[in-house]
């Protein structure tokens, strides 16, 4: 039987759990549900191989910006014992190798169907089953549906007239070709300066003939301080791993970087500058944790933003270019901050040009060029580093229908409605990992994934044991959770930026703050309290057939 044949199970032979997506979340679900809980699981994956974002995002320079050790599964001492990271921030090929290693170690591939994109999932109320269809015509049914489709996976391609007429090469960082792309000596335009743009730009600048960077909004970035791990580093990591993992589990961010409890405003200017300098020289992503109020107090935030702008001015030779690269329209951290290796210095190269497309927007592509309102740029390659339809894109692109045939698209028409970020009222037995309403994007997503998987496994197993396997978020619990998530965001500076946290990345998307801003520690506690309270907020019933 081929992998593809396996999905063509009829609705008469349902599995316990259908998982959509074979990235970090999908694989963790499969291992936990199948090997620890004894459930039958089938995973459906659109890519031709496992890995999720780490399968698709193969652009030059792609690597994680959380320490590799922290960006890995914590469930298995056996896995830890046989894996050593080579670099502080693992590059995409190494992360993919790690994912392959996990699949091999736990024999995961036998329950994964590759190359099938889920187009539709419908809840059959008579049978209390999800019926899931793939783009190859396959149908699979199961009691539970878990969307492990990622919050940053639905690729966003701006609607630029004429792209199809371009005779050169058009690429997207999040859908980079598997075969090597030869950029040597080419004239390349990169659109976008988020985390992906910031990684690809310095990587390709030395090899291309000309690099034109089209920037709409400048990004705050601090040095990554990337390095190759030595044997001594690895030995030290191994020794402290159990304690480090426990610290991460109990932290608010899921990061190893300690959060400073002090306010940026309670110290002298000299003390603050010295501390920022120290953090700048070591913290990487953790620079955001330099003071406790950077994301809640504008004056505190200004001190960090000013410091970073000062560093940009030091790193970029041309003052006009430095000014263009310096964010001034939103607080530091209100859009997802970046860490970089040589990003700003790249603009000192003679073959690199920065184009401000907020002043002169892109208007069209012709056979040979990209046009702004004021200029034309002849290019051989256009790279879209324009990101994703974040958080909801991967959940709303398939047609998901719950009770009474209600489309999720309709239920979420004014923004995503979830209970704990995990379930939605009217969509029984459908769950989401790292979805809207959960902290996912605001911390180390690996820590969130593992917590969600454990919570869902316990919820499902206890409901089955109680002969009430149909689990549904109560509308009141959902409404209260959405209000809670909103309230948490109200106390922050997140609302002061047109970010993908708020749905601002896609024209017409509802402007709702989607992630849970209370931190991983508080979220975990809230989930634990819900479980201890008999899974308060979830209605659990037997099936229509009385099972």
Q: Contact region for ligand NAP (CB under 6 A) — 11-19, 131-139, 195-203, 254-262?
A: 195-203
115 vs 427: CA distance, rounded Å:
26
Contact assessment for residue 516 and residue 438, using Cβ atoms and an 8 Å cutoff: yes
181 vs 243: CA distance, rounded Å:
42
Residue nearest to ligand NAP (CB): 194
Q: Contact region for ligand NAP (CB under 6 A) — 19-27, 245-253, 379-387, 448-456?
A: 379-387
206 vs 18: CA distance, rounded Å:
45
Pairing between strand 352-356 and 470-473? unpaired
Compute, in degrees rounded to 10, the torsion defined by CA atoms 231, 233, 234, 237.
160
Q: Contact region for ligand NAP (CB under 6 A) — 187-195, 294-302, 414-422, 479-487?
A: 187-195
Q: How far is the CB of 71 from ligand NAP (least distance, A)?
A: 8
Q: How far is the CB of 396 from ligand NAP (least distance, A)?
A: 17
289 vs 295: CA distance, rounded Å:
9
Per CB under 6 A, contacts with ligand NAP among 338-357 are 357
Site string for ligand NAP, 59-88 (x = CB under 6 A): ----xxx-----------------------
User: According to CB under 6 A, which one of 195, 424, 451, 543 is a site residue for ligand NAP?
Assistant: 195
Q: Contact region for ligand NAP (CB under 6 A) — 194-202, 313-321, 423-431, 538-546?
A: 194-202
Q: How far is the CB of 377 from ligand NAP (least distance, A)?
A: 14
DSSP class of residue 494 equals G
The residues pairing with 297 across neighbouring beta strands, listed in sequence order, are none
For residues 189 and 194, which CB has a smaller minimum distance to ligand NAP in the complex?
194
Contact assessment for residue 169 and residue 176, using Cβ atoms and an 8 Å cutoff: no
| Using rule CB under 6 A, residue 336 touches ligand NAP | yes
| Using rule CB under 6 A, residue 326 touches ligand NAP | no
Site string for ligand NAP, 277-296 (x = CB under 6 A): --------------------
Q: How far is the CB of 192 from ligand NAP (least distance, A)?
A: 3
For residues 196 and 543, which CB has a smaller minimum distance to ligand NAP in the complex?
196
| Using rule CB under 6 A, residue 52 touches ligand NAP | no
Contact assessment for residue 176 and residue 57, using Cβ atoms and an 8 Å cutoff: yes
- Total residues interacting with ligand NAP, rule: CB under 6 A: 25
User: According to CB under 6 A, which one of 4, 37, 216, 244 is a site residue for ligand NAP?
Assistant: 216
Q: How far is the CB of 157 from ligand NAP (least distance, A)?
A: 9
Residue 52, both tokens: 């999720």
| Using rule CB under 6 A, residue 155 touches ligand NAP | no
SS3 (DSSP) at 64 = coil
| Using rule CB under 6 A, residue 385 touches ligand NAP | yes
Residue 220, both tokens: 């705050």
For residues 127 and 363, which CB has a smaller minimum distance to ligand NAP in the complex?
363
Comparing C-alpha atoms, which of 215, 172, 223 is closest to residue 194?
215
User: According to CB under 6 A, which one of 500, 513, 516, 538 is a site residue for ligand NAP?
Assistant: 500
Q: Contact region for ligand NAP (CB under 6 A) — 118-126, 238-246, 386-394, 455-463?
A: 386-394
Contact assessment for residue 543 and residue 469, using Cβ atoms and an 8 Å cutoff: yes
Residues 6+ apart with CB under 8 A from 509: 389, 392, 503
Q: How far is the CB of 476 from ligand NAP (least distance, A)?
A: 32
Compute how many other C-beta atoms are within 10 angstroms of the C-beta atom of residue 543: 18
DSSP class of residue 87 equals B
Comparing C-alpha atoms, which of 319, 327, 140, 312 is closest to residue 217?
327
Per CB under 6 A, contacts with ligand NAP among 20-39 are none
SS3 (DSSP) at 340 = strand
Q: Contact region for ligand NAP (CB under 6 A) — 193-201, 276-284, 368-376, 418-426?
A: 193-201
For residues 366 and 406, which CB has a smaller minimum distance to ligand NAP in the complex?
366
4 vs 81: CA distance, rounded Å:
33
For residues 131 and 381, which CB has a smaller minimum distance to ligand NAP in the complex?
381
User: According to CB under 6 A, which one of 138, 141, 153, 193 is a site residue for ligand NAP?
Assistant: 193
- Burial of 368 (C-beta count, 10 Å sphere; 0-12/13-18/19+): middle
| Using rule CB under 6 A, residue 258 touches ligand NAP | no
Q: Contact region for ligand NAP (CB under 6 A) — 234-242, 344-352, 381-389, 472-480?
A: 381-389
Q: How far is the CB of 360 from ligand NAP (least distance, A)?
A: 12
SS3 (DSSP) at 50 = coil
| Using rule CB under 6 A, residue 197 touches ligand NAP | yes
357 vs 346: CA distance, rounded Å:
19
Per CB under 6 A, contacts with ligand NAP among 405-444 are none
For 281-422, where are the alpha helices, taking DSSP H only?
A: 298-315, 319-325, 343-346, 393-396, 408-411
| Using rule CB under 6 A, residue 192 touches ligand NAP | yes
Measured at the CA of 441, the angle between CA 175 and CA 96, to 5 degrees, comes to 45
Q: Contact region for ligand NAP (CB under 6 A) — 57-65, 259-267, 319-327, 347-355?
A: 57-65
Q: Contact region for ligand NAP (CB under 6 A) — 58-66, 247-255, 392-400, 520-528?
A: 58-66
User: According to CB under 6 A, which one of 28, 96, 145, 191 is a site residue for ligand NAP?
Assistant: 191
| Using rule CB under 6 A, residue 194 touches ligand NAP | yes
DSSP string for residues in 400-455:
EE-GGG-BHHHHTTTS---BTTTB-TT-TTEEESS-TTSSGGGS-HHHHHHHHHHH
SS3 (DSSP) at 13 = coil
Q: Which residues bind ligand NAP (CB under 6 A)?
A: 63-65, 152, 158, 173, 191-197, 199, 216-217, 336, 357, 362, 385-388, 500, 505
């Amino acid at each position: 039987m081929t992998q593809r044949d396996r999905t063509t199970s009829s609705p008469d032979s349902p599995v316990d759990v259908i998982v959509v997506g074979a990235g970090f979340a999908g694989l963790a679900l499969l291992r936990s549900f199948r090997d620890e809980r004894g459930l039958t699981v089938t995973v459906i994956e659109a890519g031709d191989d496992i890995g999720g974002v780490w399968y698709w995002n193969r652009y030059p320079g792609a690597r994680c910006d959380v320490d590799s050790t922290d960006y890995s599964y914590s469930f298995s001492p056996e896995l830890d014992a046989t894996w050593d990271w080579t670099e502080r921030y693992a590059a995409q090929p190494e992360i993919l190798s790690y994912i392959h290693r996990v699949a091999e170690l736990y024999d995961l591939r036998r329950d994964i169907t590759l190359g099938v994109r889920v187009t539709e999932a419908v809840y059959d109320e008579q049978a209390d089953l999800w019926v899931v269809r793939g783009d190859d015509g396959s149908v699979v049914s199961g009691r539970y549906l878990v969307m492990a489709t990622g919050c940053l996976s639905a690729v966003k391609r701006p609607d630029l007239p004429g792209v199809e007429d371009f005779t050169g090469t058009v690429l997207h960082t999040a859908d980079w070709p598997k075969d090597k792309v030869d950029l040597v000596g080419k004239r390349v335009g990169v659109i976008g300066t988020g985390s992906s743009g910031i990684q690809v730009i310095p990587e390709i600048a030395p090899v291309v003939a000309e690099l034109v960077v089209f920037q709409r909004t400048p990004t705050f970035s601090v040095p990554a301080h990337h390095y190759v791990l030595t044997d001594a580093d690895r030995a030290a990591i191994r020794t402290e791993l159990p304690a480090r993992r426990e610290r991460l589990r109990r932290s608010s961010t899921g990061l190893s970087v300690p959060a400073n409890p002090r306010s940026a405003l309670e110290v002298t200017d000299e003390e603050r500058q010295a501390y920022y300098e120290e953090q700048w020289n070591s913290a990487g992503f953790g620079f955001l944790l330099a003071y406790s109020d950077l994301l809640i107090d504008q004056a505190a935030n200004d001190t960090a933003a000013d410091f970073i702008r000062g560093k940009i001015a030091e790193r970029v030779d041309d003052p006009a270019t430095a000014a263009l690269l310096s964010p001034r329209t939103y607080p530091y951290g209100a859009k997802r901050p970046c860490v970089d290796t040589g990003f700003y210095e790249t603009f000192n190269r003679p073959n690199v040009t920065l184009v401000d497309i907020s002043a002169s927007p892109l208007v069209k592509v012709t056979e040979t060029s990209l046009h702004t309102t004021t200029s034309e740029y002849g290019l051989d390659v256009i790279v879209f580093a324009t990101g994703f339809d974040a958080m909801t894109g991967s959940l709303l692109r398939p047609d998901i229908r719950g009770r009474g045939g209600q489309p999720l698209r309709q239920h979420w028409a004014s923004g995503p409605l979830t209970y704990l970020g995990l379930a939605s009222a009217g969509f029984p037995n459908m769950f989401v990992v790292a979805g809207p309403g959960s902290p996912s994007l605001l911390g180390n997503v690996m820590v969130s994934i593992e917590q969600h998987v454990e919570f869902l496994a316990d919820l499902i197993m206890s409901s089955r044991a109680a002969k009430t396997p149909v689990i549904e978020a109560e509308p009141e619990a959902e409404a209260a959770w959405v209000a809670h998530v909103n309230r948490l965001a109200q106390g922050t500076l997140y609302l002061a930026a047109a970010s993908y946290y708020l749905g601002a990345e896609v024209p017409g998307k509802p402007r709702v703050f989607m992630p849970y801003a209370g931190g991983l520690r508080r979220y975990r506690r809230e989930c634990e309290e819900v479980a201890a309270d008999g899974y308060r907020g979830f209605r659990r019933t037997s099936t229509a057939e009385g099972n």
